[in-house]
Amino acid sequence: MPTWLDREVEKAVVRLLLNGEEVEFLAPVHKTLLEVLREDLGLTGTKHGCELGECGTCTVLIDGRPQLSCLVLPLQVEGRPVTTIEGMAAGASDHPLQAAFAELGAAQCGYCTPGMLLVAKSLLEANPRPSRAEIQEALAGNLCRCTGYAKILEAVELAASRMVAT
Amino acid sequence: MTVPDRTGSVGRSYPRLDGSAKVRGQAVYADDIALPRMLHCKILRAQAPHARILSIDASAARRLPGVVAIITGRDLPIRFGILPVSQDEAALEEHKVRYVGDPVAAVAAVDEETAAAACEAIEVEYELLTPVMTIEEALKEATDEPIQESFSRRRDNIHRLVSYEFGDLEAGFAAADHVREDVFFFQGNTHLPMEQHSAIASHVDGRLTLWSSTQVVHYVHRALSRVLELPMNRIRVIGAVHGGGFGGKTDPFAHEIVVGKLAMLTGRPVKCTLTREEVFYAHRGRHPTLLWYRTGVTRDGRITAMHLRTALDGGAYGSYGAASVFYTGTLQTVTYDIPAYKFEGVRVYTNKAPCGPKRGHGTPQGRFGIELHLEKIAHELGLDPVEVKRRNFVKPFSRTVNWLRVTSCGLEECTAKVLEASGYAQRERRTGHGMGFAISAYMSGAGTAIYWNDMPHSEVQVKVDRTGATVYCGAMDIGQGSDMVLAQIAAEELGIEPRDVRLVTADTDLTPVDLGSYSSRVTFMAGNAALEAARKMRALLVEAVADRMGVADLEEIDVGGGRIGEFSFEEACVIATTRFGALSTTGSYKPPRIGGPFKGSGVGPSPAYSYSAAVVDVEADPRTGIVTVGKVWIAHDIGRSINPLLVVGQVEGGVYMGLGEALMEEQEYRKGLHKWPSMLEYKSPTFLDTPPIETFLVETIDPEGPYGAKEAGQGPLLPVIPAVNAAVFDALGVWVDETPITPEKVLRALDAKAKGKPPRHGPRSFPAVPYGEPIRVDPPARDDLRVGAELEAAFGQTPGAH
Ligand code: FES
Ligand code: FES
């Protein structure tokens, strides 16, 4: 029995399609997707900067669209595909965005990076040739304190050009 | 020192060593660590800004299922603080709280929710005291008792007073054709690292291990040892992958000590991750600062004398404050030649989250003031501000009136670069558009350790065996890429690729002491130590190889491209181990004594200063007051760029952070409460607010930097803030003499102008401060570059007056 105070906490079994694999877990219904990913499923690649929906750091993709995992309850996304940073690379080879971020120094402390990458991924899937303004707009909900965003912008552009070329 | 050719890795752009782990979500930050049977800790924090604690009743909280341990101030009575002169903090306060957020009790429980619920169930009875929330209030006698009631011997809330006069001020002002006074206010703001602070402790076999998101494992190590009363050899502090510091994780923190204590009490690992709100309370950010300048100049704009007064709002604790107050005044002289200089500073305690070192530590305030002050002087004299600044630039290889030694100095080159690239002289002149120019300097590491000792500031070991080379260094990569710089230096000397160097950093069990990642010191100091250790290792490898090859002249053995002489590096390692046995070399770096013969001369000296110049282009809407930055051009004198990719990353990050401070970031209080302890309301620049930044790296090859390198982490932030204000003046003809430049302030200044008042918005006066008689210091000969023993012999005094 969960021990929060002395009242029963409702738990539920939830099934997710997580990074292409079916996972099933039992968790208190009020536990956020962020917490379940990090604490119950061991996927600590998803980071958090506020846990209040303010910084974009905890972004994951649900049905390919960016969502703040600190504001999502697993039951809400039952059965739907969820992509975290751990699911971005295809095996040993990095996604072109990951390669470009690493190459150009778009990750300094790297803490905002998983969220940035996933938002950029969904952007490029919807819009393979985004303008600078479109990239800035798409990533405006993700804060970064290290890079001044400059290298992130360059990395998204570089990845986009490589992806279009292949 | 001779500068080697850049045939090896130095000077090349390599992406950071852990880039792949970071883009794949594999990097392990402190909060990512989970240990078996781990407990979660929450800290109960004060909800009153200033109050005596009458009683704490945790009995109901202890009865909650899942609560394992609760501790209060009684369990951790020993006070600590980062500076030896400011041991004024407790991990948990027992008798009094001094700001909203002050830690009072801590709970270890089976999960975070239970710990939080237990905190809520702890009853604390307070007797409220009058909060002190402004500099002016703090200067007066305390209503009921001073904030640091037992630590301070004063009846007011003054923490620190400094007063110096270098050279003959009176004569300087007498020689002036023109004298001007100005008052400025620099608002407080915070680091806002994306990663919330986190620490996890484990106590096994009588030894405590702590993983933390800290910038300095050594300082955490010291604080744990002091407060937990454990010898340092029983404690291991490991820097987890770091999610951003900017100075905000340079103090030892309550949560780090608390998890250590709880792990010892419960026999289980304990983790504490601060909430974002708690991060705002942990703070140690920019001091809100009032500045008053009085400067005499000749008709052509040459400075004859300057008098600066500063007043810093320190918040509730000392932190680095005793140094911060100096930094608001000391570095003005390393950019401008000031023949006579008086500096008076005060830091006060208030009932706010403690201020400390944020990127630029104390110098952005002074830089903001002096740049705008000189602009105003130039306008008043009908001279070009850029020209006036240029006329006063310090000369390379000179000594300032306050005894700071300037070595390489690229101010002229940096200025020329940004003026040319931005087209400053030909800028479009119309209402609403403007450009501003400013310069700055910053230290490549402080010349004096924060606690008095004669040991090196950086120590590095290089080990070579049949498996290759490993570098051990206590420095912490906080995202700036210092690990790569160390790897490049070792690789350069050993003739291999940086990726082939293994690095072990920031682990007090494994790595020799380094004073950590703050003060822009790692490349310069740990870099010099690494260089020395690697050169010694190279000498051993070369000797063994020469011996094997039967070559007498060691100069004939080439090192590079993964080869030493006719052998591969790996073969050379085997040959050298066979020849000498176990191979380990060491290097250390300690800056020479640079400061002058007076008390307090330890704050400000650095073995080398970086220089920057910036031009900012703005659109400022006279109807709405909204200021939009179109572009920033910045040139930075890095000495030598060991890794241009990483240096540019630091410059861009600094410019961005400066823009945030210039335009929107502010840590404000109302009725004793932090107004905006959330990321939504504490405004920081998003992707859309950040303009293009064009960066120029200027290389001046400093004689003492490793390969000539200087710092990049802090200096580039500094010129950006005054350059924005100058650009707003250029666009609208009004001054906003305080940060941040909000639309409201721009409109107020325009309104004042329209009413025929002085066209400005900002503070009108500077409070009366009992600075006392200054310490009068005779200036050195301006070409006296002596340091260390030679310098000391000259004034016959022992080092460390501080
Ligand atoms: S952690 Fe979810 S938005 Fe900040
Ligand atoms: S890289 Fe550090 S927050 Fe973005």
pLDDT tens figures, B183-210: 999 999 999 999 999 999 999 999 999 9
- Last-in-domain residue among A56, A87, A118: A87
Range scoring the smallest mean pLDDT among A115-119, B92-96, B150-154, B580-584: B150-154
> pLDDT tens across B749-792, in order?
999 999 999 999 999 999 999 999 999 999 999 999 999 999 99
- Whether A131 has its CB under 8 Å from any CB of chain B: the answer is no
pLDDT tens digits, residue range B315-332?
999 999 999 999 999 999
Nearest alpha-carbon partner for A48 in A27, A67, A68, A28: A68
Same domain for A101 and A82: no
CB-CB neighbors (< 8 A) of A107 in chain B:
16, 19, 22-23
Chain A neighbors of B242, CB-CB under 8 A: 109
* B5 pLDDT more than 60: no
Specify whether the CB–CB gap between B610 and B702 falls below 8 A: no
Residue B404 has what DSSP assignment?
A: P
The residue type of A126 is: A
Which residue reads 């594999």 in tokens?
B26
The token pair at B382 is 């009908």
Residue with tokens 């020395």: B532
Whether A86 sits inside 8 A of B481 (CB atoms) is: no
Taking the CA of residue B479 as reference, the ligand 2 atom at the shortest distance is 2
For the stretch B368-388, pLDDT in tens is: 999 999 999 999 999 999 999
Pocket test for ligand 1, best of A47, A68, A84, A119 (most atoms within 8 A of CB): A68
What would the pLDDT profile of A67-119 be if each residue is shown by its tens digit?
A: 999 999 999 999 999 999 999 998 999 999 999 999 999 999 999 999 999 99
Instruction: Give B-chain residues touching A46 at CB under 8 angstroms.
Output: 25
The alpha carbon of A50 and the centre of ligand 2 are apart by a number of angstroms equal to 14
Residues 637-666 in B contacting A (C-alpha not used; CB under 8 Å): 645-646, 648-649, 652-657
Whether the CB of A117 sits within 6 Å of ligand 2: no
% of chain B at pLDDT higher than 90: 97
pLDDT at B402 over 70: yes
* A 83-112 residues inside an 8 A Cβ radius of B: 84-86, 88-89, 94, 97-99, 101-105, 107-112
Check if A108 has its Cβ closer than 6 Å to any atom of ligand 2.
Answer: yes
Domain that holds residue A152: 96-165
Say which residue the tokens 């080990």 belong to: B463
> What total number of domains does chain A contain?
2
B111 close to A (CB below 8 A) = yes
pLDDT at A6: 52
Would the pLDDT of B18 be above 80? yes
Query: Are residue A21 and residue A77 in the same domain, yes or no?
Result: yes
My answer on whether A30 and A80 are in the same domain is yes
**A57 in reach of chain B (CB within 8 A):** yes
Domains of chain B: 39-129+194-244+249-282 (3.90.1170.50), 289-448+597-761 (3.30.365.10), 455-589 (3.30.365.10)
| Chain segment B122-168, per-residue pLDDT in tens | 999 999 999 999 999 999 999 999 999 987 789 999 999 999 999 99
Q: What residues 11-50 of chain A have any CB closer than 8 A to a CB of chain B?
A: 38-39, 42-50
Rounded Cα distance between B739 and B567, Å, is: 60
Residue ending a domain, choose from A87, A121, A156? A87
Whether residues A107 and B692 touch (CB distance < 8 A) is answered with no
Residue B798 has pLDDT above 70, yes or no: no
CATH number for the domain harbouring residue A110: 1.10.150.120
Residue-level pLDDT at B2: 40
Cα–chain-centroid distance for residue B292?
A: 24
Q: Give which of A109, A135, A143, A149 to mutate to test B binding, by max B Cβ within 10 Å.
A: A109
Rounded Cα distance, B272 and B274, in Å: 6
Chain A residues with beta carbon closer than 8 angstroms to that of B18? 110
Closest ligand to C-alpha of residue A37 is 1
User: In the prediction, which pLDDT does B799 show?
Assistant: 43
Q: Is B134 on the interface with A (CB under 8 A)?
A: no
pTM (2 d.p.): 0.97
Check whether residue A41 and residue A60 sit in a common domain: yes
Question: Which protein residues are within 6 Å of ligand 1, measured from CB?
Answer: A 48-51, 53-58, 68, 70
Whole-number pLDDT of residue B6: 44
> Considering A87, A112, A128, which residue would you say is the last residue of a domain?
A87
Chain B CB contacts of A48 under 8 Å are 31, 196
The answer on A107 and A81 residing in a single domain is no
Buried b (16+ CB within 10 A) or exposed e, B263-294: bbbeebbbbbbbbbbbbbbbbbbbbbbbbbbb
For position A9, what pLDDT does the model report?
Answer: 77
Give B796's contacts (C-beta < 8 A, 6+ positions apart): none
**A60 and A107 fall within a common domain:** no
Q: What is the pLDDT of residues B494-534, one digit of tens each?
A: 999 999 999 999 999 999 999 999 999 999 999 999 999 99
What local confidence, expressed as pLDDT, does residue B180 receive? 98
Same domain for A8 and A39? yes
Instruction: Specify whether A53 is located in the same domain as A121.
Output: no
Rounded CA gap, B31 and B41, in Å? 12
Residue A58, chain B, CB below 8 Å: the answer is: no
CA distances from B442 to B320, B334, B358, B638 (A): 17, 9, 13, 11
| pLDDT at residue B37 in the model | 98
pLDDT digits (tens, 9 = 90+) for B668-709: 999 999 999 999 999 999 999 999 999 999 999 999 999 999
What backbone torsions phi and psi does residue B496 show, to the nearest 5 degrees? -125, -175
Q: What is the distance between the alpha carbons of residues B169 and B401, in angstroms, rounded to a whole number?
A: 11
Of A2, A88, A140, the CB nearest to B687: A140
In a shared domain, residues A120 and A81: no
Do A133 and A79 fall within a single domain?
A: no
**Distance of residue B53 Cα from the nearest chain A Cα, in angstroms:** 26
Q: What is the domain-level CATH number for residue A58?
A: 3.10.20.30
Check pocket membership of A111 for ligand 2, CB cut-off 6 A: yes
Question: Under an 8 A CB cutoff, do A44 and B693 touch?
Answer: no
**Which DSSP string corresponds to B420-481?**
HHHTGGG---BTTEEEEEEEEEEESS-SS-SS---S-SEEEEEEEETTEEEEEE-----SS-
pLDDT band with cut points at 50, 70 and 90 for residue B1: very low
* pLDDT at site B7: 59
Q: How far is B560 from chain A (nearest CA, A)?
A: 24
Residue B194's nearest CA partner among B98, B311, B284, B279 is B279
A100 and A83, same domain (yes or no): no
| Whether residue A56 sits in one domain with residue A76 | yes
Give yes or no for residue B802 having a pLDDT over 80: no
